[in-house]
């Protein structure tokens, strides 16, 4: 867990300045009709919001906890990340991830083995779900920056 917390704290510290190095054109261009860099960061806000709630609920609801998926494209579209100020998207991402660090820092060790039903007859432990959140985050940061070196 310490490695995850350390990585998230590092990203919270460096991502805002690193992502602000892109021009307005670079953050809003939509290659091949996919999400722009700005929308990818917005999607990461949505992911953080959903996982923040999951990370709290898993600790107090019946086991196995059923992870309910969300319609990612619809969330990005309805929140209109493409047209809101980029500093707001960055601020939202930063604030939610700071709270996630607070939540996961306080998870009792015994709860990390709780079972999470992720659908399709697959289950993760709570710890694996947290690890998957970071993998997902890193996957999209590679899309934004073109490298895993952030």
* Residue 148 banded pLDDT, cuts 50, 70, 90: confident
> Does residue 150 register a pLDDT over 90?
no
Q: Does residue 150 form part of some domain?
A: no
pTM (predicted TM-score): 0.96
Whether the per-residue pLDDT at 128 is higher than 90: the answer is yes
Q: Is 57 inside a domain boundary?
A: yes
Domain that holds residue 18: 2-145
The CATH code of the domain that includes 43 is 1.20.120.450
Q: Which residues pair with 66 in a beta bridge?
A: 117
Q: Where does the pLDDT of residue 102 fall: very low under 50, low under 70, confident under 90, or very high at 90 and above?
A: very high
| Predicted pLDDT at 145 | 95
Question: Cα 47 vs. chain centroid, distance in angstroms?
Answer: 4
For 10-34, what is each residue's pLDDT tens digit? 999 999 999 999 999 999 999 888 9
Give the chain's domain count.
1
2-12 pLDDT, tens digit each: 999 999 999 99
Question: Is residue 4 within 8 Å of residue 130, measured between CB atoms?
Answer: yes
Domain annotation covers residue 133: yes
Cα angle 82, 99, 47; round to 5: 40
């Amino acid at each position: 867990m310490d490695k995850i917390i350390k990585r998230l704290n590092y990203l919270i510290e460096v991502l805002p300045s690193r992502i602000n190095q892109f021009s307005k054109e670079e953050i809003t261009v939509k290659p091949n009709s996919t999400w722009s860099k700005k929308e990818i960061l917005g999607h990461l806000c949505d992911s953080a919001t959903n996982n923040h709630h999951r990370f709290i609920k898993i600790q107090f609801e019946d086991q196995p906890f059923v992870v309910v998926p969300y319609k990612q494209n619809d969330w990005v579209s309805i929140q209109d990340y493409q047209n809101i100020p980029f500093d707001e998207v960055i601020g939202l991402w930063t604030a939610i991830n700071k709270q996630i660090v607070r939540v996961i820092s306080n998870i009792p060790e015994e709860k990390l083995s709780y079972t999470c039903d992720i659908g399709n007859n697959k289950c993760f432990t709570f710890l694996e779900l947290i690890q998957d959140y970071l993998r997902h985050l890193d996957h999209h940061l590679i899309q934004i920056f073109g490298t895993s070196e952030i």
